[in-house]
Amino acid sequence: MRFVPLAIFAAVLSTPVTAAEAPAKVTVTMANFSYAPAELHLRAGEGVTIHFVNTGSGGHDFTAETFFAAATMDAANRARVGGAKGRVALGKGDSVDVTLVPHAGTYDVHCSHFLHATMGMTGKVVVD
Ligand SMILES: [Cu+2]
Domains present along the chain, CATH in parentheses: 24-127 (2.60.40.420)
- Calculate mean pLDDT across residues 66-72: 98
Q: Could you tell me which of 46, 43, 45, 47 has the C-alpha nearest to residue 98?
A: 47
Checking if the pLDDT of 76 tops 80, the result is: yes
Tell how far the Cα of 8 is from the centroid of ligand 1, in angstroms: 70
Run of H or E residues at 46:
none
Mean of the per-residue pLDDT values for the chain?
Answer: 89
CA 108 to centroid of chain Cα atoms? 17
Checking if the pLDDT of 110 tops 50, the result is: yes
Checking if the pLDDT of 111 tops 80, the result is: yes
Q: Could you tell me which of 59, 37, 60 has the C-alpha nearest to residue 50?
A: 37
Q: Structure pTM?
A: 0.83
Tell how far the Cα of 1 is from the centroid of ligand 1, in angstroms: 91
**Between 52 and 20, residue with greater pLDDT:** 52
Tell how far the Cα of 65 is from the centroid of ligand 1, in angstroms: 16
Q: Taking a C-beta distance cutoff of 8 angstroms, is the pair 26, 42 a contact? A: yes
Q: Provide the residues around ligand 1 (an ion) whose CB is within 5 A.
A: 60, 111, 113, 116, 121
Percent of the chain predicted with pLDDT > 70: 84
